[in-house]
Amino acid sequence: MSDVKRAVTKEDIFNIQSITDPKWSPDGKGIIFVKTNLEKDKDTYISNLFYYDNTSEQVTQWTYGEQKDIQPIWSPKGDHLAFLSTRNKASQLFVIPLAGGEAKQVTNCTNGVSEFEWSPDGKRIAFQGALKPDESFDRKADEEQEPNETKPEVKVISRMKYKGDGAGILSEEYEQIGIIDLETEEIEHITKPGHDYGLLAWSPDGKCLMYTADEAENKDFSFDSDLVLYDLESKTSKIIETDKGFVTDGEWSPDGKKFAFVFHGQVYKNASHPDILVYDKESEETLNATKDLDFPVGDYMSGDILQGARMPGVQWGNEETFYFPVSEYGNVALYEGNDSGNIKQIWDGQQHIYGFDVRSDKVAATVATSTEPGELYVYELSQQEKQKLTKYHEEWLSQVKISEPEEFVYRSVDSWDVHGWLMKPIEFDETERYPLIYQVHGGPHAMYGNTFFHEMQWLASQGYVVAYINPRGSHSYHQEFVDAVRGDYGGNDYMDVMNGLDHLLEKYEFIDEQRLGLTGGSYGGFMTNWIVGHTDRFKAAVTQRSISNWISFYGVSDIGYYFSEWQIQADLRNIKKLWEHSPLAYVDEIETPLLIIHSEQDLRCPIEQAEQLFIALKRQEKDTEFVRIPEADHNLSRTGKPSLRLERLQHLLRWFEEKL
């Protein structure tokens, strides 16, 4: 093999595989996980289950086909494996015997299954799926039914939450919970029609389920849910008292005495740091185990290579100790804690842990770094040593040139430190000067960090300096920092971005100040629009899936009315404030050539936001183009059709090549 390495190409997305959702077998002899490939010829994604054997140190593929097989969970005895599969269109629950035999489909729910949990005796499975009020789980979907070619359906809308990005116009469906007896295949429906529930965990004694419930009558303004303990014998439920907020994950301690869960409070609306709360079943008290931790529990990393990654919120190691992920300073680390509030970091580093499973003193985890896509690892807690188990990207990495990001920190408004990264072009020559592409992430409560980012590597391979920062509003920093952007869009967050540019130009003399490029998506698209309306320092910019007008966004986005109230802190009774924070109000000042990229099926930031901006710019004969991406939603750059992802990248590069 030649020692000459090549540049990363946009087509290399087909060489990057997504390794996710590791689960120890109950006997500790191996790990099941999911591997997802981008299929170029079929222009889609394919997921299958793979097993790593500790003894042979070999990986075996367990499922095959062109569907998505995801979310594997072992039966308690380890003699069966359950998973979800799209092999019959809607995602259904399948069970495969480990002694041999084909996977058996055990649900046929009209709208599919999204979550499930084994009973402790392995005889039943609780599952979650969407149902209309008049539907039941045992209604068989007619796979042979001819498509309905009658008149288009007229929809009568009576609720504000009537559409969703990636889903379109929503039917009146609610998340429900059922339990299937694997022997009789009978299904017991345990929740009330017309309300939303979220399955969490089955108690170790098999007598109760923990789930969440949103039974509010006015769901348009319901953003909370109750934590519910459901007794399977008496068919009664009990609400576990918490502050206003909602729960996203939880697990019983092995002895069934305590329940640890991830709680999202509403003090700072969607900017609030999640915490780990622990409910003691005997005392009926709930304690906040992470109240003194000023970082968010969970994974808030932005990226473009992971498919279907599922990060556990909390897992018990024994009766007293649990483990949970924390986003901090652009990394995702693993912490250990107990209900007394004693917490400590046990696995850190410049890395992105995006999946884990604990068994005894070992952690199976999927981990990525800024220079290597995710692989499967085992981490020894007692010795604090890790071992890489898979090497799916080893051959590819041996063929391509990778730019290693350099971290930097600078002082911005309020004397706060702001954190960022810079990537040099792969053929870097310190005597040359290079154009810069400056990236702003979405959210705004997300983060850039130490994970592999194909787009960034590709731009560096094309001869650009690439820089990206975490301005105020970004996660992985203190609560005040995350909350500071709310009500101040275009204020000190803008100053953070521009102060970062000043820092880059002062510190890195190889950046050509006359060839500065800017881009970002979602909130990053808003910020791109805002920046070019307030400065002409950038020679070219690309705005993606952006917001230009908060007044119209309020009514057209699937989250518009409440997101605007939470983030801009204004509604339609305060048009003045919505307009003052709208980039469209500053079109007169835009002189930077601006490419607008937007997906036609984006309901998070609907395409009318791009249309308004484009027409306003063209009316004033500004230098602009509008790229409309069909058959794509807000998540194009992460989960869109591979061919359309390549189109987006090509237009991004084309604009900078032409203008810089």
Nearest 5°: CA angle at 343, between 337 and 344? 110
Q: What's the half-sphere exposure (Cβ side, CA atoms, 13 Å) at 639?
A: 12
With tokens 């063929």, the residue in question is 399
Q: Is the peptide bond before 76 cis (omega within 30 degrees of 0)?
A: no
**3-state DSSP call for residue 253?**
coil
Q: Which of 445, 548, 634, 637 is catalytic?
A: 634
User: Could you tell me the sign of the dihedral formed by the alpha carbons of 568, 574, 575, 581, in that order?
Assistant: negative
Q: Is residue 634 among the annotated active site residues?
A: yes
- Token digits of residue 11: 């087509």
Q: Which of 18, 522, 564, 582 is catalytic?
A: 522
Task: Specify the DSSP class assigned to residue 271.
Answer: G
Tell me how far apart the alpha carbons of residues 580 and 378 are, in angstroms, rounded to a whole number.
51
Tell me how far apart the alpha carbons of residues 377 and 375 are, in angstroms, rounded to a whole number.
6
The radius of gyration of the chain's CA atoms, rounded to the nearest angstrom, is 25
Name the strands in the sheet holding 196-202, side by side, starting at the edge strand that comes first in the sequence: 196-202, 208-214, 226-231, 236-240
Give the other-Cβ count within 10 Å of 217's Cβ.
7
Q: Is residue 522 among the annotated active site residues?
A: yes
Q: What's the half-sphere exposure (Cβ side, CA atoms, 13 Å) at 72?
A: 32
Task: Please classify residue 656 by burial: count the beta carbons closer than 10 Å to its beta carbon, then call 0-12 exposed, 13-18 middle and 19+ buried.
Answer: buried
Q: Of 553, 487, 542, which Cα lies nearest the Cα of 652?
A: 542
Q: Of 563, 649, 645, which Cα lies nearest the Cα of 604?
A: 563
With tokens 């789930």, the residue in question is 211
Looking at the annotation, which residues are catalytic?
522, 634
